[in-house]
Structure 1
Amino acid sequence: MAGVLVLYYSSYGHIETMANAMAAGVREAGAAVAVKRVPELVPAAVAAEAGYRVDQPAPVATVAELPDYDAIIIGTPTRYGTVAAQMKNFLDQTGGLFADNKLVGKVGSAFTSTGSQHGGHATTIQSVHTVMLHLGMVIVGLPYTFTGLSRMDEISGGSPFGASTVADGENHAVRQPSANELDAARFQGRHVARIAQVLAAGRVAEAT
């Protein structure tokens, strides 16, 4: 059974919700999944004043455990069209894994949230992909076989780069991930898991 890590950072809960939907899709495909988050960098008093969701139940991940998984799906909100500092700080600590080729051949995928329709859905995910490619990972996106990407009857995140959700930049509690956006996350989770299972089976065959 392939093992998948859904690794995320979430300030207000949108990415947390998407991460859990992503994990549900992984389970539907028959793979094992762990949902973990990266450490918060913002001081506790500042986070409380800003209304951050600080009581998230997901355990905090360590860089050392990343090679234990066959696939890693990274979720991060956008910050000016790129990765949030909390996630970038975590990824910047993978130098040892890079030097030892520990993540080469692993499946990598990503998802995001933005404060507006055009706030960096693609660029944020692509910035995660850049890191993954440097680490030698095999990139998996969200194919158009998920027909929700082509919907025109509602505002929705999502692109061939990966699932995403549109949060209200002025009042984060107003808009939570929609049914279509959550469907996209589940689809992506299933898609990643199935590819990870095939690749993992190939590695086992090579080793025997």
Structure 2
Amino acid sequence: MKVHVVFYSTYGHVYQMAEAVADGAREVAGAEVSLFQVPETLTEVVLEKMGAKEARKAFADVPVIEPKQLAEADAVIFGTPTRFGNMAAQMRSFLDATGGLWKNGSLVGKVGSVFASTATQHGGQETTITSFHTTLLHHGMVIVGVPYSCAGLTVMDEITGGTPYGATTLAKDDGSRMPSENELSIAKFQGKHVAEIAAKLAS
């Protein structure tokens, strides 16, 4: 049973969440988990001006996925930063290249799930994930979120991300805040939960 964790990260927040998601999925017996990033669309010059070039070195060795590789997985868990309440352009560009998979029904019946990051507490975490679901539904995927059996969703004594639609983190407007222990625990829960459901469907 194969699980692909596919992400785009600018400053490393979504990458850290992706690692936690992958760790959770690996806890499920028989799960073969692979981590991928989508192609970058910004130039090196722009990334340098954004101050992102150095941060991206942390995941420079993560392979870049091709659309056709999605069909190999039983479950795909996507991670994206938020851009005005929607997914990042890099993720959108990648998904727009999956028309051949859609035409052939290659992702029908596979499990799909999403996690995200925003700069602020109410910066579009839920709209980013739920709007992402639209694409997955067009592909015929079975959407899985994070149920309230995940204790991290009900933490109220700290500022934290986390939604029933998928794990989330808060990066702060300057990107200085990294995922908290609670946010990473929710991401790990999501990875395990998705893998468990994918294993049941695969069987």
Q: TM-score, normalised by structure 1?
A: 0.94
User: Is structure 2 residue 22 aligned with structure 1 residue 23?
Assistant: yes
| Pair 1:97-2:139 in alignment | no
Unaligned runs of 5+ residues in structure 1 are 202-208
Q: Distance in 2 between matches of 1:113 and 1:29?
A: 25
Rounded to whole Å, the distance in 2 between the matches of 1:22 and 1:65 is: 19
Q: Does the aligned pair in 1 maintain the 2:160–2:182 contact within 8 Å?
A: yes
Question: Counterpart of 2:144?
Answer: 140
Distance 2:56 2:26 in 1: 26
Of the three residues 179, 183, 187, the one matched with 2:181 is 179
SS in 2 for 1:145: coil
| Mapping 1:77-116, distance limit 5 Å | 77-116=81-120
SS, match of residue 54 in structure 1? helix
Q: Give the letter for the 2:161 counterpart.
A: G
Trace 1:126-205 onto structure 2 (pairs within 5 A). Answer: 126-169=130-173, 171-172=174-175, 174-201=176-203
Q: CA deviation at 1:54?
A: 3.1
**Deviations 1:173-198 (CA, angstroms, capped at 9, x unpaired):** x2100000000000000000000001
Q: Distance in 1 between matches of 2:76 and 2:161?
A: 21
- With structure 2 as the length reference, what TM-score do the two structures score? 0.96
**Which deviates more from structure 2 when the two are superposed, residues 80-89 or residues 29-38?**
29-38
3-state SS in 1 of match to 2:19: helix
Give me the whole-angstrom Cα distance separating, in 2, the residues matched to 1:176 and 1:88: 24
Q: Where do 1:24-39 residues align within 5 Å?
A: 24-30=23-29, 31-39=31-39
* Mapped contact 2:119–2:172 kept (Cα < 8 A): yes
Aligned AA (1:192): V
Instruction: Check whether the contact 2:110–2:142 (CA below 8 A) recurs between aligned residues.
Output: yes
Q: Which residue in 2 is equivalent to 1:40?
A: 40
Aligned mates of 1:134, 1:106 — CA distance in 2: 12
Q: Comparing 57-66 with 47-56, which one deviates more in the overlay?
A: 47-56
Aligned equivalents of 2:150 and 2:13: distance in 1?
A: 21
Moved over 2 A (4+): none
Alpha-carbon distance between aligned partners in 2 of 1:142 and 1:129, rounded to the nearest angstrom = 14
Q: How many residues align?
A: 198
CA shift digits 1:145-170 (9 cap, x unpaired)? 0011111100000110000000111x
Structure 2 residues not aligned, in runs of 5+ = none
- What amino acid does structure 1 have at the position aligned with 2:179? P
C-alpha separation in 1, matches of 2:63 and 2:101 = 21
What is the distance in 2 between the residues matched to 1:22 and 1:148?
14
Give yes or no for contact 2:6–2:76 (8 Å, CA) kept in 1: yes
RMSD of aligned alpha carbons: 0.7
- Cα shift at 1:120: 0.6
